[in-house]
Chains A and B, each alone.
Chain A
Amino acid sequence: MPTKTVKVDYIARVEGESSLKLKIRDGLVEDVRLSIFEPPRFFEALLRGRKFSEVLDIVARICGICPIAYQMSAVAAIENLLGIEVDGPIHALRRLLYCGEWIESHSLHIAMLHAPDFLGYPDAMAMARDHGDAVQRALALKKTGNALLRLLGGREIHPVNVRVGGFYRVPSRAEFEPIVEPLKQACDLAIQTLRWVATFPFPDCTRDYEFVALRHPDEYPMNRGRIVSSAGLDIAPAEYETEFLERQVPYSTALHSVLKQRGAYLVGPMARYALNRGRLPPDICALADEVGLEPVCRNPFRSILVRAVEVIFACGEALRLIENYKRPARPFEPAEPRAGVGYGCTEAPRGILYHRYRLDAEGTIEAASLVPPTSQNQGIIEEDVRQVAAASLDLPEDALQAACEQSIRNHDPCISCAAHFLTLHVDRT
């Protein structure tokens, strides 16, 4: 067989720098490697020696797209260690912050990173010339998510207001007034966005994922819950490391995470939705049914529908939280340092984000371990690319490449988190 090599030096529209290597021999996909050569920044090392009160500002800098997720998992872990239980309005405000980040991050991915794949444009700017209304709707949604982050956090990227035990300052009810009307409009825009993405052409693809997400008795999961899976896993965040393992491979600066018993697994919107659809309000389930989104979606190309459903949910949930909000008597519970280990796991837009910290008696970090969603999804992304490539080998080179790129973007990888750079090398022998 002749040897053929296709190389793309940068896969676009993902957060960060990574490359993909595809080896094809005798018409079969022999090897798939998602390499992340984002320069390592050593957060787990540089956190050591910092006070627990400094952690939230530092870990936010792991990711400009999901800083809230880092702050939420870190604060959950540290409060777990210090024996602080937040509930009532503080819990509601944290959930509200997460609604802002889900709206902002999902809207960015739906319209600016993912939709151009389905409609055949290089980017949202070009797509806007033909689909101006749809892009404008998504931008308006994104703006509303960001406005919520700014209100609660001071700014949309690396917000400053969360602290161990609560917030530095809690808003009055009146401060929410200006955001209520935009959120009501956002609910409509989000429904229109779901109906728009439902018209996209979806390639046939069925994958047998083990889904992993948080589950909580009363809430569609964001800040709390047990870690559950479609194969029956059901553990507290503190048990994460007994079930999951991080591995390093020579071709990547990101660590790969696997289930010790069963290997690769999927986190993120598809997993959350499959495991928690029962926690969604009935009107949102009805919208999912209306556009034909199955209760358990196993086609990764259709993840864009799940994200759109979650945006609708987050807009409505934000309104509900604001309506029920009562300003707490004090913005935070005092936090006294103690030695020990704390565990936190929350639902970043891209899936569960696990943090563990060990503190000494003065509250200084002795050790930190962080497992971002993209590290957890790398194995699945490689398997997806393998399956999609195998089904696309007859396509012309540029179409094969586009299909592989799209199957990576299906999972909205966040490479800065996982360590960054997507380059596609196809080796045909």
Chain B
Amino acid sequence: MARAVKRKPKLAVWKFASCDGCQLSLLDCEDELLPLAERIDIAYFPEASRRMLPGPYDLSLVEGSITTPHDAARILRVRRLSRRLVTIGACATAGGIQALRNFADIREFAAAVYPHPEYLKTLATSTAISAHVPVDFELRGCPVDKYQLLEVIKAFLTERKPMIPGHSVCVDCKRRGNVCVMVAHGTPCLGPVTHTGCGAICPSYDRGCYGCFGPVDDANTAAIAREFASLGMVRRDIGRVFQTFNAAAEAFRREAENHAD
């Protein structure tokens, strides 16, 4: 009996407010991209292709945060078209660096950059995709790690759970055999409270982790903030450490608030 030919799963890649770095991670898979394209149908990926097939899609990768009324409506449509929806990167999972507007006056921000702010249609906040629609998995990082991204794609296409660990950067640092930059050199480092994924790059380059993968679950940010203070950092500088690419992630947002002027 003839077996039914299995349809290739359809992948879509969407962009909201972002730098494009996370979707570029897919094009940076120089050895894996062409084999991947044989196994799946890259049905919608405007950065890479003029061919744009209509939905529904088996898997949507969503990059970027929601910052405009237009995008707040568009994400609802993307969700309806997607059987599974995975958000990739700090913008999509936590609002990104542009979420610093959440703590400022958006009108003042707009006036500081544009001579005619009235031409802009923008929201007062930058928010994670999960604040707008249900999300099946969140992959952290600013940017995401391309091997983790490949793992997530493979996992969803084979209907299994992605094997993405959730420990802190400290564990990776020990594995690499790094000397602790905070203990040995007194360099402030967010490694103890930051989600794994980067491979502990910063301490490997003689600097402290700056938290681009966002807070680990149950991050004890108060303890690390006390440690920073004992290293001589002033209150305001400590607050700003938590206000970068994951400023709106709950644990970092709260700790920054505790150090507000």
Contacts and interface: CB of A to CB of B under 8 A. Distances in A.
A46 B113 CA distance: 10
Interface in B107-134: 108-110, 112-116, 119-120, 122, 126
A124 interface: yes
Given A57-B244, A158-B143, A16 B27 contact: no
A323 interface: no
A375 to B, nearest CB: 12
Contacts of B143: 64, 155, 157-158
Interface in A35-57: 37-46, 48, 50-51, 54, 57
B210 interface: yes
Interface in B187-206: 198, 201-202, 204-206
B21 A160 contact: no
Contacts of A43: 97, 113
A126 interface: yes
Contact of B21 (A37, A158, A420): A158
Contacts, number: 181
A12 interface: yes
Nearest to B200: A154
B205 A64 contact: no
A16 B49 contact: no
B142 interface: yes
Interface stretch (A135-143, A184-192, A292-300): A135-143
B167 interface: no
Contacts of B112: 42, 44-45, 48
A140 B50 CA distance: 23
Given A39-B17, A61-B142, A122 B51 contact: yes
Contact of B114 (A37, A122, A136, A255): A255
B116 A156 contact: no
Nearest to B122: A40
Max chain A Cβ within 10 angstroms of own Cβ: one of B19, B21, B98, B202: B19
A419 to B, nearest CB: 9
Interface string B12-33: 0001111111111101101101
A220 B51 CA distance: 38
Nearest to A156: B28
Given A122-B49, A416-B18, A108 B27 contact: yes
Contact of A41 (B28, B67, B71): B67
A281 B126 CA distance: 48
Nearest to B210: A57
B52 interface: yes
A96 B127 CA distance: 37
Interface residues of B, number: 64
A65 B20 contact: yes
A253 B120 contact: yes
Interface string B218-261: 00000000000000000001001000110000000000000000
B113 A40 contact: yes
B207 interface: yes
B205 A12 contact: no
Q: With a 10 A CB-CB cut-off, give which of B15, B122, B126, B198 has the most chain A CB atoms.
A: B15
Contacts of A42: 98, 101, 109-110, 112-113
B109 A123 contact: no
B82 interface: no
A196 interface: no
Interface centre among A12, A39, A156, A157 (most CB of B within 10 A): A39
Contacts of B204: 154
B205 A146 contact: no
A401 to B, nearest CB: 10
Interface in A1-57: 10, 12-17, 37-46, 48, 50-51, 54, 57
B34 interface: yes
A414 B111 CA distance: 24
Contacts of B24: 64-65, 157
Given A125-B33, A139-B30, A12 B115 contact: no
Contacts of B31: 139, 143
Contacts of A64: 18-24, 143
Contact of A45 (B45, B67, B104, B244): B104
Contacts of B15: 16-17, 420
B19 A135 contact: no
B193 to A, nearest CB: 17
A207 B187 CA distance: 54
A123 B46 CA distance: 10
Contact of B100 (A46, A108, A160): A46
Given A248-B115, A250-B119, A39 B33 contact: no
B68 A39 contact: yes
A13 B47 contact: yes
B205 A13 contact: no
B30 A140 contact: yes
Contacts of A331: 206
A125 B28 contact: no
A44 B34 CA distance: 38
B37 interface: yes
27 contacts: A12-B47, A12-B48, A13-B48, A16-B20, A39-B17, A39-B68, A41-B97, A42-B112, A44-B113, A45-B104, A54-B240, A58-B244, A61-B19, A63-B21, A64-B23, A65-B20, A123-B51, A125-B34, A125-B42, A126-B51, A139-B30, A142-B28, A158-B212, A160-B201, A168-B207, A253-B119, A416-B19
Given A40-B110, A51-B237, A160-B210, 17 more contacts: A12-B47, A12-B48, A12-B51, A38-B17, A39-B67, A43-B97, A54-B244, A64-B18, A64-B22, A128-B37, A154-B204, A157-B21, A157-B25, A163-B207, A250-B116, A331-B206, A416-B20
Please name the 6 residue pairs, one residue from A and one from B, whose CB atoms are nearest each other, closest first.
Answer: A64-B21, A123-B49, A122-B51, A154-B201, A45-B109, A143-B30
